[in-house]
Amino acid sequence: MRIGVFDSGLGGLTVVQAMTQVIKGAQIFYVADTKNAPYGEKTPEQILQYSLNITKYLVKTHQIDALILACNTATSSAIQHLRETYPSLIIIGTEPGIKPAIEQTRTGKIGVLATPATLQGDKYQTLAQTLSSQKSVDIFEQACPGLVEQIEKGEMDSDVTKGLLEKWLAPMRQNNVDTIVLGCTHYPLVGQSIEKIMACNVSLIHTAEAISKHLLTLGTQKGHLNEGDLQVHIHTTGEIHMHVVESLIGAYENIYFIDVENN
């Protein structure tokens, strides 16, 4: 199985990391669109165009069988269009795990951290309204502008990053939130800081493992045997910080620079 995975930057590698635990005998072609990051502060039209450019590149150059949108923001703006354009591809997106959060919470108060574009998108609004009407919970939503840039720079533990998180998490701490949805694939990289700031038993919800298992199920239905080595090839459209890559998937040598706008 040839699997294309993309994100605005390195955050989607948190999904690749989970995939390496589940998927075997496949090739992963990862695209970090760092030239256009952060997606979360762009318009839905821009995010759709970036997603279409990358998918076209992955289909043409790497003949992928499956596409993983390892980005909540791109899923919100582009997944429907991509499914219509590429009906024969397995296409799996990433959505904030509100459902598991609602199932797990004991205080009935959950937090959602995501990019501005994800929280404003119809997809998230519909999901949150539908699920919160089924069980009475209070949802504390927080957009986190600037956080993706900090993470891309490798500044997971800097004072600036911690200051941003403290400000955003204060209302959640004061209101007894016990479950926080990480609605952006970059945010698991600051998961430990979030746990420390919440200073209590908070559960962090991310969906990378569920995505990987879903891919295995759909791949198996199409004849994927899941045996043998897994290879990961990383491509980027701009600057990338190697130590962030290595902290996620271990020592890594070849990063390919690509231009997906002219393919």
Of residues 19, 71, 74, 194, which has the active-site annotation? Answer: 71
Residues 58, 67, 91, 148: which binds ligand DGL (CB under 6 A)? 148
Asked if 209 and 22 touch (Cβ cutoff 8 Å), the reply is yes
Q: Is 184 a catalytic residue?
A: yes
Residues 115, 193, 207, 212: which binds ligand DGL (CB under 6 A)? 115
Q: Is 200 a catalytic residue?
A: no
Residues 3, 6, 8, 216: which binds ligand DGL (CB under 6 A)? 8
Binding-site size, ligand DGL (CB under 6 A): 16
Interface with ligand DGL, residue 237, by CB under 6 A:
no
Interface with ligand DGL, residue 118, by CB under 6 A:
yes
Find the part of the chain contacting ligand DGL (CB under 6 A) among 53-61, 65-73, 207-215, 237-245.
65-73
| CA distance linking residue 142 with residue 179, whole number of Å | 13
- Of the pair 14, 105, the CB lying nearest ligand DGL is at 14
Interface with ligand DGL, residue 161, by CB under 6 A:
no
- Of the pair 71, 177, the CB lying nearest ligand DGL is at 71
Interface with ligand DGL, residue 51, by CB under 6 A:
no
- Of the pair 10, 224, the CB lying nearest ligand DGL is at 10
Residue 121 CA from chain centroid, whole number: 15
Residues 4, 38, 93, 97: which binds ligand DGL (CB under 6 A)? 38
Interface with ligand DGL, residue 39, by CB under 6 A:
yes
Asked if 119 and 112 touch (Cβ cutoff 8 Å), the reply is yes
Interface with ligand DGL, residue 73, by CB under 6 A:
yes
Asked if 115 and 41 touch (Cβ cutoff 8 Å), the reply is yes
- Of the pair 39, 168, the CB lying nearest ligand DGL is at 39
Residues 31, 184, 245, 260: which binds ligand DGL (CB under 6 A)? 184
Residues 34, 150, 185, 237: which binds ligand DGL (CB under 6 A)? 185
Of residues 32, 172, 184, 245, which has the active-site annotation? Answer: 184
Residue 95 CA from chain centroid, whole number: 8
DSSP string covering the chain: -EEEEEESSSTTHHHHHHHHHH--SEEEEEEE-TTT--GGGS-HHHHHHHHHHHHHHHHHHH--SEEEE--HHHHHHHHHHHHHH-TTSEEE-----HHHHHHH-SSSEEEEEE-HHHHHSHHHHHHHHHHHHHS--EEEEEE-TTHHHHHHTT-TTSHHHHHHHHHHHHHHHHTT--EEEEESTTGGGGHHHHHHHHTS--EEE--HHHHHHHHHHHHHHTT----S-EEEEEEESS---HHHHHHHH-S---EEE---TT-
Residues interacting with ligand DGL, by CB under 6 A?
Answer: 7-8, 11, 37-40, 71-73, 115, 118, 148, 184-186
Show which residues are catalytic.
Answer: 71, 184
